[in-house]
Homo-oligomer: A and B are copies of this chain.
Amino acid sequence: MKPLEKETLHKETPWDDDKFHEECGVFGVFGHEDAAALTALGLHALQHRGQEACGIVTFDEGNFTSHRALGLVDSTFSRKDVMERLKGHASIGHNRYSTTGEPALRNVQPLYGDLDFGGFAVAHNGNLTNAVTLRRDLVKNGSIFQSTSDTEVIVHLVAVSKKKTVIDRLVDALHQIKGAYSLVALTEDSVIGVRDPYGIRPLVLGQLGDSHILASETCALDIIGADYVRDIMPGELIILKKDGISSLFPFEKTQSRFCVFEYIYFARPDSFMEGRSVYEMRKQIGAELASESPVPNADLVVPVPDSGVPSAIGYAAASGVPFELGIIRNHYVGRTFIEPTDTIRHLGVKLKHNANKAYLKDKIVVLVDDSIVRGTTSRKIVEMVREAGAKEVHMRISSPPTSYSCFYGIDTPRTEELLAHSKSVEEIRDFIGCDSLAYISLDGLYKAVGESKRNAAAPQFCDACFTGSYPVELVDSVNHCAGGKVSGMQDRAAQKR
């Protein structure tokens, strides 16, 4: 019923497009008088998982209250009047990164519905692979969708379920959806968390005094001084209520396949995931990379800031080559940018990075980065380092080549647009212009994160972006509707997911 009011956001700089992007972060708390404030702080700690929009829904004495906006958590939830409205002891929140240039407020989560049994709000990190197919059936039966978000499918499935309780209806819905999802939901008497059967996206449980917390990462527990209890298990549905927490396991058990890219790039380095320190994982990947692909006579190891820093430290330590900040990042690069004229474009303006010339001149430089997506940024970085006088530039990448799109909640270019899909490592090296290029091997990666090697029969992680081995069926793609039009409204947002 809510036609789209168009809202526009300036897109990130092209350089940022040269990374995969986590699409969402979720947070939930039950049983704390400042539930909304804790949620806002948690979302702030999870800001790296989605910068486009954020929202919080709380429940208090019969009323759900919501505040959602385009923009960062800090500015959205620093207004006193906003926080005072968000009353209640239970709250869920969401950070969102849009996959398209046209985000819309109506797609900002948590989504909410007044259902027969009462209000129901849900926020979701991940992506459903049969959302379009399910949506078509729902619309056929009279459901009216407000957003183009796959999350809304869950709300409608719960609404039309013939089961009685919220939990039974939710389980009914979960049995119909396919994909990767870590979701939090809010009802009149509970906060619910669910992790998909493969546990592709992360979700952890924390505790602060008597209240319980769900969050995408442990850094969201740290910010509020909450204790980490455990990771929600793949396929687990956890219910936080007044009388404590309880769990259901509504799915058949399968081998878990946690997203290995969370270790490589998405997660914050101070988070622990599945019991492992992300920072430590990155250093170990760097060390493994150093042993797989050393650079003889290297003078310095230089991270591509900021994400390359921990693996560069690992590489430097393992190789004995000094670690130096050879590239300085301008931290004031925002969402909007000075648009250069043509004349100025030719100057090769360096809005975001600058070479630390004093350190690069006549040096053999090992550049460490986490991934190469389209290669455009890497090419500029190499050129910049060469202009600063480096004798040789060797690029080392702390992930295997990314050759396949993700359909599980990560914003990636289409498979065809991925540099590594069509080009060999040597061709990529040539495109980027460095003297040598090496990626960590797939088994090296598994080794660095603690496995002896990849179990090809039943891989321990989701590594579809490297291997094309997709654990969950891509229903909509098979039905040729993944990119299908989900609405006659002029809203091109979010259709890819």
Contacts and interface: CB of A to CB of B under 8 A. Distances in A.
A250 to B, nearest CB: 21
A488 interface: yes
Contact of A139 (B74, B114, B144, B317): B114
B331 A306 contact: yes
A248 interface: no
B3 A64 contact: yes
B142 A332 contact: no
B2 A112 contact: yes
B490 A66 contact: yes
A10 B79 CA distance: 11
Interface string A324-350: 110010111110111111011001111
Interface centre among A63, A64, A142, A357 (most CB of B within 10 A): A142
B324 A114 contact: no
A46 to B, nearest CB: 10
Contacts of A357: 222, 270, 272, 277
B338 A41 contact: yes
A34 B341 contact: yes
Interface string A351-372: 1001111110000000000000
Contact of A349 (B85, B223, B331): B223
B328 A268 contact: yes
A317 to B, nearest CB: 7
A325 B310 contact: yes
Contacts of A67: 5-6
A112 B488 CA distance: 10
B146 A354 contact: no
Contact of A66 (B4, B55, B224, B337): B4
A74 B270 contact: no
Given A4-B66, A142-B160, A358 B277 contact: yes
A59 B397 CA distance: 48
Given A156-B144, A351-B41, A333 B121 contact: no
Contacts of A160: 141-142
Given A272-B358, A339-B78, A323 B313 contact: yes
Nearest to A145: B114
A273 to B, nearest CB: 11
Interface string A219-251: 100111100000000000000000000000000
Interface string A42-66: 0011011001000101000011111
B222 A354 contact: yes
B222 A350 contact: yes
Interface size on A, as a range, is: 35 or more
Interface centre among A41, A317, A333 (most CB of B within 10 A): A41
A271 B50 CA distance: 32
B349 A65 contact: no
A448 interface: no
A143 B1 CA distance: 11
Given A37-B344, A38-B344, A142-B156, A325 B349 contact: no
26 contacts: A1-B145, A2-B111, A3-B64, A3-B112, A4-B66, A5-B68, A34-B341, A44-B330, A45-B330, A63-B490, A74-B338, A78-B336, A113-B144, A114-B487, A115-B142, A119-B487, A119-B488, A143-B159, A146-B146, A208-B347, A224-B347, A270-B328, A270-B356, A279-B359, A280-B359, A323-B323
Given A10-B78, A144-B144, 12 more contacts: A1-B106, A1-B146, A2-B112, A3-B66, A4-B66, A37-B344, A40-B338, A47-B332, A85-B490, A119-B488, A223-B349, A309-B325
Interface of A: 1-6, 10, 33-34, 37-38, 40-41, 44-45, 47-48, 51, 55, 57, 62-69, 72-75, 77-78, 80, 83, 85, 105-106, 110-116, 118-119, 121, 139-147, 152, 155-156, 159-161, 188, 208, 219, 222-225, 268-270, 272, 277, 279-280, 306, 309-310, 313, 317, 322-325, 328, 330-334, 336-341, 343-344, 347-351, 354-359, 486-490
